[in-house]
Amino acid sequence: MRRFSERSHLVTLSEINITPLLDLAFVLLIIFVITTPLLENSINVKLPHGGRTSQVLDKRNIRKVEITSTGYYKLDKQHLTEAQMINRLASEARDNPNLIVYVQSDRSTRYELLTKLFDTCQRYGITISMATDPRPDH
């Protein structure tokens, strides 16, 4: 008959103790939870409220320019070439110094199409407003 002490000598450890591994995971989690806000908010900035204009806008002063990703322009729902749009905005800016261009462009629009419009508006003293989608991407 074998004794108890002899039998325990032959038994191998077939299970891994995961308690230290879990302790380490929880400690790392706590460290990341504490340090992440500190890294994101390294500078204390107070953002301005709202986005209201200081004056009431007259709808007659606003022109809506839409630019597709393929380079088509629409000015107040009329399809125009780039040259026609520039000429029309220039003539309207001479007649109305309070002209505001509201720009809606596709997110994949080439940057050069936007810069041409911005350069035109800057040259004639036209105020620019960009339309954005307030919903975050998922």
CA angle, 22 as apex, 16 and 23 as ends, to 5°? 120
What pTM did the predictor assign? 0.53
Q: Are 79 and 72 in contact (CB under 8 A)?
A: yes
Tokens describing residue 132: 């954005």
Return phi, psi of residue 53, to 5°: -85, 155
pLDDT in tens, 71-111: 788 888 888 888 898 899 889 889 988 888 888 887 777 88
Extract the tokens encoding 53.
């204009």
CATH class of residue range 59-130? alpha beta
More confident residue, 48 or 69: 69
Domain ranges of the chain: 59-130
Q: What is the pLDDT of residue 23?
A: 93
Rounded CA separation 73/65 (Å): 7
| Residue 44 confidence class, pLDDT cut points 50, 70, 90 | very low
